[in-house]
Amino acid sequence: MNNNIKSITTLGISGSTSLDGLGLSLMETDGIDVYRQGTSYIVPYEDNLLEQIYSILGKRADSQSDMEKIQKVQKNYTEFAVKMAKEFINDEGLRPDIIGFAGHTTCHRPQEHYTHQIGDGQMMANLMEIKTIAHFRNADILAGGQGAPFAPVYYQALTSKMEHPLVVIDIGGTAEIVWFGSNGEMKAFVSGPGNAIINDWVIKHSGQQMDYNGRLAISGKTDEKILATLMHHKYIALNPPKACDRTIFLEKAEHLEGLSLEDGAATATSFVAESIAYSMALFLPEPPQRVIVCGGGAKNPTLMRFIRQRLSDITIETAVDVGWQPEAVDAQEAAFWAVRRLYYLPISFPSTTGAVEPVIGGEIFEPSSG
């Protein structure tokens, strides 16, 4: 099998869990090493589509009452993704061999053995006339896994020549901690809230889509009493392997009500930093010498400052600092996973998702004119 593995051009397409837009990323990889990172960027969702996605978050696609609505949003979402992909390919002047279409997670409940991502792989393949791989998470859930995180296998490729122990923190809608040990061991889990709890607060109370550059949080003051209450969320203390939906922290977010816009943003941002530091202290087999932060959270200087304050004895860098492209990291992962699926390589492992064995994830959709 290994004799047939060669580098191919892959286009990753994925919605950011922070809901800041659709990521697209071009890559040359054999699913083991990344040979070239191509163009990557995020296209903000149109307001109407964003509202539609928000309206189905946390709803199950196998529910009779929600199925029709979710299918309609999926069609609109896929059409938007196809339009953006065609523009992307036209601008690049380079046609990919395959597409990795991770879609957008709308409901993730591993405790119920359920996950759902909108994004129609067959529709993408047909309209793009390119072999498409989608539905990456289902096989892991069926194998007893949490259905996330899948980022570790991608970060393993990016960090293979770096000194270990090392941690990569991927802050999207939730925060994922990926630990690589001195002897090549790997452990990963979703530690808790990410950008979603900050964004949701800011959207609700200011109408802005996010706390741009952490300006609101830096001018506010963390309410330590409310922060302590937020940290008592039952998920935070759960032992890994674990993963969760961005919506499970909404119930605790009600504690922020009554704070000013700035103090609420500061306290929500502190919650993200505090839960990351707590999880690293409690769940990592050995402390890292170095931490690399990526995802949308790496672009928030206030969140980065809060993380550095809590991990003051560790070198904290961002993806940009180490020469990675932080834009559309979800799409980069999808591009990488697609090639691994093509070559029958696993994307999740017992030490990352809790699956009973390494799992090959993704469903292949061949273009069809029918």
**pLDDT score of 326:** 74
**pLDDT score of 369:** 66
333 and 243 in one domain?
no
121 and 8 in one domain?
yes
Q: Which amino acid is at 357?
A: E
309 and 341 in one domain?
no
On whether residue 52 sits in a domain, the answer given is yes
**pLDDT score of 3:** 54
On whether residue 97 sits in a domain, the answer given is yes
**pLDDT score of 1:** 44
Cis upstream peptide for 149 (omega within 30°): yes
**pLDDT score of 329:** 87
- Which residues span the domain enclosing 261? 163-318
| Distance (Å, whole) CA 198 – CA 191 | 16
Q: What is the CATH number of the domain that holds 186?
A: 3.30.420.40
| Distance (Å, whole) CA 7 – CA 36 | 10
Count how many domains the chain has. Answer: 2
**pLDDT score of 62:** 87
Q: What is the pLDDT of residues 245-279, one digit of tens each?
A: 888 998 888 999 999 999 999 999 999 999 999 99
Query: What's 243-280 look like in SS3?
Result: CCCHHHHHHHHHHHCCCCHHHHHHHHHHHHHHHHHHHH
On whether residue 306 sits in a domain, the answer given is yes
Give the position of tokens 């302590």.
228
Going from the C-alpha of 275 to that of each of 92, 132, 287, 316, 324, the distances in angstroms are 40, 36, 16, 16, 25
**pLDDT score of 174:** 93
Going from the C-alpha of 151 to that of each of 82, 118, 125, 211, 330, the distances in angstroms are 24, 19, 24, 25, 8
**Spans of the chain below 70 pLDDT:** 1-3, 369-370
Q: What is the pLDDT of residues 48-101, one digit of tens each?
A: 999 999 999 989 888 888 899 999 999 999 999 999 999 999 999 999 999 999
* pTM of the entire predicted model: 0.89
